[in-house]
Each structure stands twice: as C-alpha cells, then as structure tokens.
Structure 1
Amino acid sequence: MNDRPEDTNSGPAAAARTVLVTGATGYIGGRLVPRLLEAGHRVKVLVRSPDKIAGVPWLEQVEVVRSSLDDAAALQDALQGVEVLYYLVHSMATGAGFEAKEKSMAELAAKAAAAAGVRRIVYLGGLHPRNTKLSTHMRSREAVGETFLSGAVDAVVFQAGVVIGSGSASFEMIRHLAETLPVMPAPSWVRNRIEAIAVRDVLYYLVAAASLDRPVNRTFDIGSRDVLTYAGMMNEYATEAGLPRRLILALPVPAPKLAGLWVALVTPIPLSMSLPLVESLQHDAVSMEHDIDNFIPQPEGGLTNYRTAVALALGKERDGQVETTWANAGVDADPLPSDPDWAGHRVYVDERTFHSDVDPRHVWTVIEGIGGRNGWYSLPLAWQVRGWLDKLTGGAGLLRGRRHPKNLAPGEVVDWWRVERIDRGRLLRLRAEMRAPGRAWLELSVEPDGTGSRYRQRAIFFPRGLSGRLYWLAVLPFHSIIFPAMSRNITAAAQTIANAEASQRAT
C-alpha cells in the first residue's frame, strides 16, 4: 500500500541549500515548504501577512521575513545568503495595469537576486502552445518567465498545465462542475487537449530544481504525459468519484466570460478566479518537449497518471482503498490555514450545541448508550420510517441494534451506523452505512463547561454528485426538527441519570 499523501513524492538525494520561498501562503508554495525541509534545505519564507501561516506545522522550522515583493531593499536583504529563490507569486487580479505590475515585480526580484548573489531562480508558469494568442493571465505568466530567463541569474522556468490536487483551483473547478452538473452545455474549449499533472509531481520537480548541479537557464514543460480533452477530464473524474458519466454538450462558441460567470454560479469558486481559469482554457495545454528527463529523473515509480492523481485528491490510496475518516476524506492530505474556503470536497454540516449543569460523565453515559433499544432521543417514528426506507432500498436499516446496551468499541455496529472512533468520556464518531447519495457521519461529544457540561453534535455529509446535494436539501427540514430535539433530550436523559444517582446517595 502507498501511504504517502497526494502531494508527496520523494525526490533525489541532494546537497542542502538555503532557499527563499515567496508565495508560501499559496497552494503550491505552502506545500513546497515542508518538502524542502524534508530534503534538508534551510528555508526562509517571505510573506506579506505572517498571520496566514500562523497555524502551519512547519512554522518553527523556517525563518519568516515579513515584507512584500515591491519593497526592493527588504527583498534584497531577505536574499542575503540565499542560493535559490522560489518565485511562486501570481495574482489572479484583473483590471488595467495587471500585466505591467506583474512584470515589474518580477524584474525587481530578478535584480535583487543578482545583487544578493543568488545562484538560481525557480518559477512555475503555465503550459501553453507557442505562437498563439494567450489569455491575459497566461500571457502575464509567460512574460514573468521571460523576465527571469533574460536576467543575470540562471532560471528554471517550469510550465505546467492543470494541477490535480485537492485545493488546487484548476482541480476544484473540475470537481465541482463534474459533481454538480450531470448534463453540461459547455463552450467549444471543452474539446481542447489538456495534459494535467499531479501536485505531488509538481512539488517533486520544484524540490529537485534546487539541487541541479549544472548551470541551467531555460523553460521545461512538465506534465503527466497523459493527454485528455477537458471534457474527458471531467468524465474521468466522475468515474473515479463513482458518478455516472457526464453528458457534455460542446457548443460552437468559446464564450470565456460567459463560461467564467457560469462556473462562478454553479461552483463555490469566486468569479475573480473562475474568469482567468476559464480564459486559460481557450487553447490546448500539452507539453511540446520532455527535456526535463535529461536533467531530473522521473519520480520513483514514474509520473502520476490523471486517474491516479484524481484518486489521491479524493483521499484514495493507490490500491483503490478509500479513507473512511470524515476529517480527512476528500480533503488535502495537508490542509493549510491559507487554503480558501472553497477548496476541497463539498461538506455539509449540521451542528448543535447544548449547555447544561449536568456533569459531563452523565452526558457521556447517554452518548455511549445511544441507539438500539435506547433509541435516538427524538421522534422515534421518523427514525423508524427512515430505517424502513433504507431497508427497502437494500441498506442496513435500524434492525441491527447494538452488541452491548452500554459500552461501545471501534468497529461495532449501532443500527445503521458503525463506530469509527471513540474517545471514551469525550467523543463518539459514527459512520453511516445507510443508503444515501454520499457519505455521512454523526459525531457526538461532551466537554466540561464551568460546573456543568457542553454537549455538541454534528451531522456531516459528503454529497456524491447533484443527487447528493439535492438529498441534503430534502432532509434539511427533518434535521431542523430532529437534531435540536435530540440535543435537548440527550441532555435531559443525562440529568435524569444524575438525579437518580443523587437520590441513591441520599438513601
């Protein structure tokens, strides 16, 4: 079994360098830093807002420089003693002057690197055809790369297409479109040929670039060598996610602005990102050369193909097994505080809390005894109807009960649930085995709250496709009745236990 996360690929052994990473609060930069540390490099990060990396696990292992890339003096000072500069900054802003500002910042960085004696600049640009009119953002990325290549410091400019990894904006657009729209009228660019690349392979090449032992000043196209149309990518995603094949109707118009607006409406990706993403899809994105193989060997086991990259992004291991813990299923293996709130799998949560004067241990007694003959503490008929429906459709239903009326252990059955985790006295997490268009969990927990307790329950649902989203909307009215009552009644049952115990002590 491959137990490495989706964004990990071990690179070749290399001499330690001192590196400065810009863009450490971004998707690639934030994931590159720990890989550089693992490779033995000394890492500095330059960030405008250190608060954005306050919770990252690698914070204490790096030197943080608070500055911006338009401060020439501060940048040159930060680059003192640095051998490799990773330039991973690219704005998704729009408007007049955008391209000029991006190029100006790159020129400033190139000059500061030369003045500080930096040996190499590493930049990640976009994969695009030659001699073709590019979108504003793709043209800007090409110009930034050319700025570094024409400077005094050697530059390695990687050109990558769609990056496949949970949290990557390009991947999230594929994910949300494929899951939301079983039938999709789409512009003509869905027929364009795309060579995607797994985020783990992008990071592998970026880390390896720091240790190239010969002068290099050129671009390298990098990709999976697995070429699909954009429509094919969405259908391959659907297959890997267990969804029916999507019907994609390619219309004979490009309509980038209209398509960008449509993406923003049907997915959580904001318009400020959907527009440049869609504009960048107006042309093929396929490697024109594979010269990188002459400089950096492919990762152990070879490059990650598209389907495997999708499986990893969905939280699957390469042998096809799926992670079952709700906390990490379908999200990036290393989620970061700087990740946008639209990144990762769509998750619906119904959360309820209830404060009471009851001792937490009495609340826990009720939690651990839930289900079976004790029931679910709210509208028994509604639970029974749902159980009958589940049984009729081939599910587990409510007839399985539980092994012991008071005690639970991981892996045990509780009606249509299975105990996924139990921290005795504190937390019980149940994974649903009922029939539903998605995956569901119920988490019950209690903690001290002054002289009493704070009870919390969370219903967590990962929808599968449009039917999963509609299912959640359909059950919301029932949740609004069942779950508040459940939290009140569990606390009331705990109070009854406490009263009985007090009465027994009194006699």
Structure 2
Amino acid sequence: MTRVLVTGATGYIGGRLVPQLLEAGHEVSVYVRSPWKLHDVPWRDQVRIFKGDLSDAVATHRAMNGIEVAFYLVHSMSAGSDFETAEQVAAQTFADVGAAAGIRRIVYLGGLHPEGVTLSKHLRSRAAVGRVFLDCQVPAIVFQAGIVIGSGSASFEMIRHLTEVLPYMPAPRWVRNRVQPIAIRDVLRYLVLATSVDADLNRTFDIGGPDVLRYGQMMNGYAVEAGLPQRHIAALPVLTPWLASQWVSLVSPVPRQIAVPIIASLQNDCVVTEHDIDRVIPPPTEGLLPYRTAVRLALTREAAGQVETSWQNATVPGAPSDPLPSDPDWAGHTVFTDLRERESAASAGAVWDVIESIGGAKGWHSFPLAWAARGWIDRLIGGVGMRRGRRHPSRVNRGDVIDVWRVESVERGRMLRLRAEMRMPGRGWLELGVEPTATGSRYRQRAIYFPKGLSGRLYWAVLLPFHGIIFNGMAASILREAERSPQPTRS
C-alpha cells in the first residue's frame, strides 16, 4: 500500500484515477480547490480531502504530510497572458513543498509534442511544467500523452461532433497531421503502475496507443464505429487555429475556451518517438487498445450511462467556479424572481424523476426555440452555450453540468438548484422542487436573478415578457410528464 495524493481529482483524468488507485489498495488523499464538487462521488468517504490552491505552500504542505507519491493532474485552460508563468509557479511550489515533505515520487501527465518546433502556448506550458518537476529534488515521472479517447473526453467529443454534424467537411490543414491517440483505460493503467517504479527514475515517457492516424482518419474511424457513412474531408490552408476554434465551437458543444488549446495542439504531428516505457511498465498481455476499440468502448459506456467523469463538468474560464450559499444570500442585492407553484395529482417521486432528468437530450420542457436561441447567443459572445448536455441521462450530482447550468445543490427527491454559467450582466439560478401532499404533490419552480448595474436590470426587463411562456410552459410540461408516469422510480 502506498500513500498517494491526487491533485485534479475533480477533473476528467483525476476523477477516474482515484477509484483505480483505491482498487489497487493504495491510501488516497485528494487536494482540490472546490471540495463541494466531490459531494456525490461514490468514493468520497474512502479518501482524505484537503482544500487549497496549488500556489499556497502552507495548504499544499498540509496535504502532502505523510504522502509517498503525488500526482499532478492539473492544467489551466485559461487564455490569459500570464497563465504560463502562473502554471510554472504553482508547479515549482508543489515540487519544493514535496521535497520538504519528504515525498519520494511526483507523477505528472503532460502533452505529447514534437521536439524542435514551435509549440502552442498550452503545449509549451505543459512541457515547461514537466521540466520543473524533472529539475526538482524529488524524482519525477512525466508522461507525455496525445489525444485521450474515452467517454467524457473533450477531444473525443470534438471528434464525435465534427464527424456527426458535417458529412462534408471543409477542414483546417491539421486534419492531415499524424496523431497517436491513447485510450483512457491505458492512461490510467500507466498512472496507477507509476506508483511502483524504481525510486530513482527521473525522466519523461511518451505514451500512445498502437495506431498512428491522421486526424481525418480518426474522424472516419469514429464514423465506422457510430454506424455513419464515411466523411469527405477537404483540407484548407486558410483556417488559422483561432478561426478553426470558432468553427469547432459552432458545430460542437465544446466551448471556445476549451476548443482553442485543443486545436492549437494539433498544428504539428504528435506521435510517440520512443517506447522506453515498455521496459518500465510493460504493456498489458492483450496489448494497448486500438483506436477504434477505444471509440467502441466509449460509445458503449455512454449508452449504458457509465460516464464517470466528463469534460462537461470542467470549469470554463470566465464562468463562476465557486458555490454560493445553499439559499442565495439576498442581503444587499437587488433581486428579481419568477415563482411558479402548482398542485399535481402525480406523486412527488414521479415529479422528481422528471426534474432530475431535465436538460440534455430531454430538453427544458418549453419553447425549445427560445432555449436554443439563448444558447447560440451565448456561444457567439464566448459563453458555454446550451450544448454541453449532461453526464448521466437521469441522475445528477452536485457540481454536474446540465447544458448552460451547473448543479449547485441537490436534495434528492426534494429540490434541485442550478446556477447559470451563461454570459449575462448578473448572476442567476433556477430552482425546481417538489413536496408530497395528501392528494399528490406540490411543484415549486423559482428563477432568481441578481442584476449587475443598469445593463442587468435592462436584461431582466427585456426577457420579462418571455417568462410567462417559458417558465409557465416548463411547469406545465414537467407535471404533464409526471402524471403520465404514476409509479415513481425513486423517492
């Protein structure tokens, strides 16, 4: 048993690594900025949770006390001019504190990249962070991986939507670049087994699956596994990374802030240049997963509702990231509300089933054109839009994303509170609740808005005429669906 610390445990990789480490028999601690995001994960009670920021040496030392192996699985998606410096400072603090705490190993997951070429600033930053760890007093293993294929991966979601939406694609020239994708299963295996490698090993390792493909071939490989016709791709030399990210943002649910660094990292070939990892961590007996097999598994897990973590729940730069009080504190705020209450013959359990399934493929129960238009407007001004969907079709946990909302609070069977992450001059919430009555149930729906300045008040005033249609229709539709399902599946 090894005592390990995982940073980035609320993210896509870290959230999947923690249960793998527990299954392998390790004692796990996690270090996160927002412990509330772990409120509903199934392994929460099996780990020690430390709150803090990686730039805070005191809090980081507290989390590292007694730790043997520390995983550094964080990377900023910020577009700010100083994010590279901030990342290196955080990594240096982590390395220095780790040395002072006496840990014996740092494990970092960086990006696969060619040598001797100009890198995107995000790949350049990842490489710089890797060098910080390799130069520190604690031995480090720096894995360098390319595109990760798995249910919930942003890169996988981008491939899916580019393939499904556009049967003929005028595409950027990087669709001709060679890439070496790797299945999420194999990434996690490397990370888990890194806890037991030679204590003095200090170096980078390229990791990738068995297939080297052009990006266009990856899209058509996805098409085969999804039962779609082959796509015709015409590479154009005129689409810059920035323009390409705007285009990807329009045809996929991946927000522009996430699409930009992904696309920028595809401007060069990214393939494994050495296979030294095989001597340290031999591949599994059955071999690493081929690309199409990884796609097939991702689609199968999605169909079964088994997406453990997803890019959708990542905090997008510019969106609120911290929870607000369980009942928003109205003191000192101008507040606008829209309240709808209705009695229903449906049981409280049946109404709750509909509430908890809202959004994603199910939609928002009223005026879909208005919801879609608001989502498109949000995308055009740099927001997340309505197309992030949801991780599970019928169950939500605190911290989950549902389209343009984030689950701020859930009292299962009673109340769901969503916080808006759309671009608007103010802050907003939507509460959906139900309680049992002698004849069925009482449904309560409340929209809450804190306007910011004059523009915030004008924003509410402009939308006010539509509230009667949207919110009234939502309440009526939710109850109609609940009344068609008299037997609750949950209470």
Using the size of structure 2 for normalisation, the TM-score is: 0.66
Cα distance in 1 between the residues matched to 2:269 and 2:46: 40
Residue 40 of structure 1: how far off its partner (Å): 0.5
Q: Which amino acid aligns with 1:176?
A: H
Offset of residue 361 of structure 1: 12
For 2:206, the equivalent position in structure 1 comes to: 221
Q: Give the whole-Å Cα distance in 2 for the aligned partners of 1:359 and 1:333.
A: 29
Give the 3-state SS of the residue equivalent to 1:36 in structure 2: helix
Residue pair 1:455, 1:491 contacting (<8 A) in 2 also: no
Mapped pair 1:339 → 2:326: no
Distance 2:22 2:54 in 1: 23
Among candidates 173, 191, 208, match of residue 206 of structure 1: 191
Q: Which residue of the partner structure matches residue 129 of structure 1?
A: 114
Contact 1:26–1:338 at 8 Å: present in 2 too?
A: no
Gap runs ≥5 in structure 2: 317-340, 352-433, 444-472, 487-491
* Partner AA of 2:232 in structure 1: L
Rounded to whole Å, the distance in 1 between the matches of 2:213 and 2:307 is 26
Match of 2:36 in 1: 51
Cα RMSD, aligned residues only: 3.1
> What does residue range 417-432 of structure 1 map to in structure 2 within 5 Å?
none
Deviation at 1:265, TM superposition (A): 1.3
Query: How far has the Cα of 1:490 moved from its partner?
Result: 9.5
Instruction: Quote the Cα distance in structure 1 between the aligned partners of 2:311 and 2:244.
Output: 30
In structure 1, what is the equivalent of residue 324 of structure 2? none
1:146 matched to 2:131? The reply is yes
The match for 1:81 is 66
- Once the two structures are superposed, the pairs formed by residues 265-414 of structure 1 within 5 Å of their partners are 265-315=250-300, 328-329=302-303, 332-335=306-309, 339-340=313-314, 355-357=343-345
Q: How many Å apart are 1:281 and its aligned residue? A: 0.4
**Structure 1 residue 330: deviation in Å?**
6.5
Deviation at 1:225, TM superposition (A): 2.1
Question: 1:449 is matched by which residue type in structure 2?
Answer: P
- Conserved? CA contact 2:141–2:202, under 8 Å: yes
Q: What is the match of residue 502 of structure 1? A: none
For structure 1, which runs of at least 5 residues remain unmatched after alignment? 1-15, 317-327, 343-352, 364-446, 457-480, 495-507
2:222 maps to: 237
How far apart are residue 45 of structure 1 and its match? 0.3
Q: Secondary structure at the match of 1:294?
A: helix
Give the superposition deviation at 1:290: 0.6
1:376 alignment counterpart: none
Paired residues of 2:225 and 2:292 also in contact (CA < 8 A):
yes
> Is this contact kept in 1: 2:4–2:67, CA < 8 A?
yes
Query: What is the Cα deviation at residue 360 of structure 1?
Result: 9.1
- CA drift of 1:169 comes to 1.2
By how many angstroms is 1:182 displaced? 1.1
Displacement, 1:248?
1.1
The total of aligned residue pairs comes to 352
Are 2:35 and 1:61 equivalent residues in the alignment?
Answer: no
Cα 1:315–1:358 shift into 2, 3 Å: closer
User: Does the C-alpha gap of structure 1 residues 331 and 144 become closer, same or farther in structure 2, counting only changes over 3 Å?
Assistant: farther
State the TM-score, normalizing by the size of structure 1. Answer: 0.64
Cα shift readout 1:358-408 (whole Å, capped 9, x = no counterpart): 789999xxxxxxxxxxxxxxxxxxxxxxxxxxxxxxxxxxxxxxxxxxxxx
Question: Using the alignment, how far apart are the partners of 2:70 and 2:342 within structure 1?
Answer: 51
- Secondary structure, counterpart of 1:210 in structure 2: helix
Cross-structure match for 1:159: 144
Task: Give the whole-Å Cα distance in 1 for the aligned partners of 2:114 and 2:480.
Answer: 62
Shift in CA distance, 489/177, structure 1 to aligned 2, threshold 3 Å: closer
Say whether the 8 Å CA contact 2:165–2:251 is kept in structure 1.
Answer: yes
The Cα offsets for residues 83-132 of structure 1, whole Å up to 9 and x where unpaired, read as 00100010000121111111111111110111111100000000111111
Report the 3-state secondary structure (helix = DSSP H, G, I; strand = E; otherwise coil) of the residue aligned with 1:70. Answer: coil
2:111–2:146 CA contact under 8 A, matched in 1: yes
- C-alpha deviation, 1:484, in angstroms: 7.2
Shift of 1:335: 4.1
1:184 corresponds in structure 2 to 169
SS in 2 for 1:269: coil
1:452 to 427, 439, 447: 439
Does the 8 Å CA contact 1:455/1:487 hold for their aligned counterparts?
A: no
- Greater Rg by CA: 1
Q: Distance in 2 between matches of 1:485 and 1:153?
A: 59
What do residues 218-265 of structure 1 show as CA deviations (whole Å, max 9, x unaligned)?
000001020110000011001101111111110123511000111111
Contact map agreement 2:153 2:311 (CA 8 A) in 1: no
2:27 alignment partner AA: R
CA contact (8 A) 2:180 2:272 kept: yes
Encode CA deviations 1:452-507: one digit per residue, 9 max, x unaligned: 23599xxxxxxxxxxxxxxxxxxxxxxxx9x979975995999xxxxxxxxxxxxx
Q: Percent identity?
A: 54
| 2:97 corresponds to 1:112 | yes
